[in-house]
Amino acid sequence: MSKVEWDIVVPVKQPADLKGVKPGKLPESLLRAVKGGKLHWLAAAAWEAMVEAAKADGVELKPVSAGDTYRSYESQLAVFKQRYTPNPNGNSTRTFEGKKWYKKDPKFASLAAPGTSQHNTGLAVDVHTAGEPKRLKWLIANVRKFGFSWEVVPEEPWHLRYTEGDNPPAAVAEYMAKNNIQKPAAGANTASVPAAPSAPSAPAAGKDDGGDLDPGDSGPRVTKLQEELAERGFYKGKFDGDFGPKTKAAVIAYKESKGYGSGGKAGKRVLDDLGIGL
């Protein structure tokens, strides 16, 4: 990504219905399905409205994976313990359960402690290939219209959070009225509400399309695949996001160790095991 300087960082106002709800323990009544995952129902409406507007401008927006929308406390904890240790080692730290945890390898991607990420509140979404120039330019020009903001710029162009609490911007309110999206009744299950329809686009050659990961793919999920395989002792190469021969060999070795058969494809079973998801 070419470096783009921008400064759109706005504090998050939480919706009132999240008061008293433990992050990562949201009831299904507060969640709404979106294409590629699920979010708090207000964040979902804002995201869908932004996806629709971007599509009209020829820009596709989608999450990196289901794990990059709402994350349960348990899933955040599992990945956190894969990347961090309570044993001092001089690497960067996170505070969790009142003590410092140290990144096991400085090359690992940073991760918020369980219960502290806006992914745990259903208000955050990581955008697939957000640093692609056309996509990033569109996001910079439009995120505030839909109530989103970055948290860290310019280092994390993919990480957006819905910031407007119970007062969605006009563009989102209009989308909600058009699609009859209302506050869910207590106990209602909104997780199966379909996202706004969007025609799938053909993936660019060599790029991760959000499904299985195959040799030749590249992108953030491949980096995560490399990190998780390295954590388990199967991968010894660089975390470069390119699904090359070393990554393929690591996937084959991992699948053989699990009795999953042969082949270099990282399918749903492998990705679920490694906390990456489709």
Domain definitions of the chain by residue range: 16-71+117-178, 220-273
Return the CATH number of the domain spanning residue range 16-71+117-178. 3.30.1380.10
Topology annotation, domain 220-273: Muramoyl-pentapeptide Carboxypeptidase; domain 1 (1.10.101)
Give the dihedral sign, CA 45/157/136/37.
negative
Helix (H, G, I), strand (E, B) or coil at 114: coil
pTM of the model: 0.66
What tokens were used for 17? 């219905």
Query: HSE-up of 103 (CA within 13 Å, CB side)?
Result: 12
Q: Which residues of the chain have pLDDT under 70?
A: 1-5, 186-210, 277-278
What tokens were used for 170? 């006009």
Residue 192: its pLDDT value, please? Answer: 39
18: burial class by Cβ within 10 Å (0-12, 13-18, 19+)? middle
pLDDT in tens, 211-247: 788 899 888 888 889 888 888 888 998 888 899 999 9
pLDDT in tens, 27-50: 999 999 999 999 999 999 999 999
